[in-house]
Amino acid sequence: MIASVRAAWFADRRRPAVWTITATWTILAIAFGIGIPYLVHLALAGDPEQADAAESLLAAVLPGQLVTTGIGLFPLFGGAIVVILGALVVGNEYRWGTLNLIFTQRPRRGQVLAGHAVVLAGLTLLIAVLTFGALALVTGVLGVVEGRAAGWPPAAELAGAVVAAWLICTAHASVGWFLAIAFRSTATAIAVGLVWTLVLENAISGLALVLSPLKVVQQILLAPSSGALAGALGARSQFDGGTPGVVESSGALLPALVLLGYTLLMFGLGSWLAARRDVS
């Protein structure tokens, strides 16, 4: 098992796409989470009638709101990015025909696929940590520039937000991972994964507002569960002027369990399918 993890890490860390996606998401998180709100604050700051709105925007990009600002970015924007990552890391194995070649070697197929899953989970953890680290750095600089007290959130809250972001990312990445195995194609997996998470699930969530029976279905969907987890940690709902994808939630337990279930199910089904079907 350790050898399979090392082999998967050896391959993934040399894929330019992995680091391109990681860097792209980090830049987007800073731009959408901090940059745009701060620019709007600057535009409104000179208007006395918009003083309250400008102050609210400034407060959102200071260190005190790091948890809510950061976790609110993951349900919609971050989820879509890591679906692509999950599809790429295993889809490229089919593109180059290396997976079936590996299956003919000594490691068992389950171990090979488990190694890829562990490395993918490690990459999503890295993305979560880097995102909050970058946001902390930028918000800290803005706090100094604006002459405001830092007011950093408690370490336990910040750690909880990082874990929640990791869970959201891993669940979405596992979907891309499974689809790449199911279709044996990176491009098809990315297309289906994005349609699934951005179009289909959001459509069902919209219909749930007028069709109450769909509210039960909504609670077991990937994107709404991600938004509910972010909402449980304090991110403002999209219906209350917050980040798109975030919804109100009475607690974090149910959405966290749904996301964990997606992770285990997608990794399990993908491993089973590849082990049973992909015979050299």
| pLDDT band at 135; cut points 50, 70, 90 | very high
Q: Which residue has the tokens 């171990």?
A: 111
Residues in contact with 176: Cβ distance below 8 Å, sequence separation at least 6, in sequence order:
82, 83, 84, 85, 86, 87, 88, 189, 190, 193
Tell me the two tokens of residue 240: 């209350």
Residue 164 predicted with pLDDT over 70? yes
pLDDT of residue 280: 46
- Residue 225 contacts residue 62 (beta carbons within 8 Å): no
**Span 175-200, pLDDT tens digits:** 999 999 999 888 999 999 999 888 88
- Measured distance CA(170)–CA(110) in Å, rounded: 19
Q: What pLDDT does residue 100 have?
A: 60
Q: Encoding tokens for residue 23?
A: 């860097």
Encode the chain in three state secondary structure.
CHHHHHHHHHHHCCCHHHHHHHHHHHHHHHHHHHHHHHHHHHHHHCCHHHHHHHHHHHHHCCHHHHHHHHHCCHHHHHHHHHHHHHHHHHHHHHHCCHHHHHHCCCCCHHHHHHHHHHHHHHHHHHHHHHHHHHHHHHHHHHHHHHCCCCCCCCHHHHHHHHHHHHHHHHHHHHHHHHHHHHHCCHHHHHHHHHHHHHHHHHHHHHHHCCCCCHHHHHCCCHHHHHHHHHHHCCCCCHHHCCCCCCCCCCCCHHHHHHHHHHHHHHHHHHHHHHHHHCCC
Q: Quick one: pLDDT band at residue 209, thresholds 50, 70, 90?
A: confident
pLDDT-derived band at 140 (thresholds 50, 70, 90) equals very high
User: What confidence score (pLDDT) does residue 250 get?
Assistant: 76
| Residue 214 confidence class, pLDDT cut points 50, 70, 90 | confident
Question: What pLDDT sits at residue 52?
Answer: 81
pLDDT, average across residues 67-74 = 93
CA distance 232 to 249: 5
Q: What is the mean pLDDT of residues 57-82?
A: 90
- Whole-angstrom Cα distance, residue 135 to residue 208? 33
pLDDT surpassing 70 at residue 19: yes
Q: What is the mean pLDDT of the chain?
A: 86
Which pLDDT score is estimated for 107? Answer: 57
Calculate mean pLDDT across residues 89-114: 68
pLDDT value at position 154?
Answer: 93
Give the pTM. Answer: 0.91
pLDDT for the residue numbered 97: 61
Q: How far apart are the first and last CA of the chain?
A: 21
Can you read off the two tokens belonging to residue 195? 């349609």
Q: Which residue has the higher pLDDT, 50 or 165?
A: 165
Kindly state the average pLDDT of the residues 73-98.
Answer: 83
Q: Residue 98 — very low, low, confident or very high, per pLDDT cuts 50/70/90?
A: low
- pLDDT single digits (tens) 26-58: 999 999 999 999 998 888 877 777 778 888 888
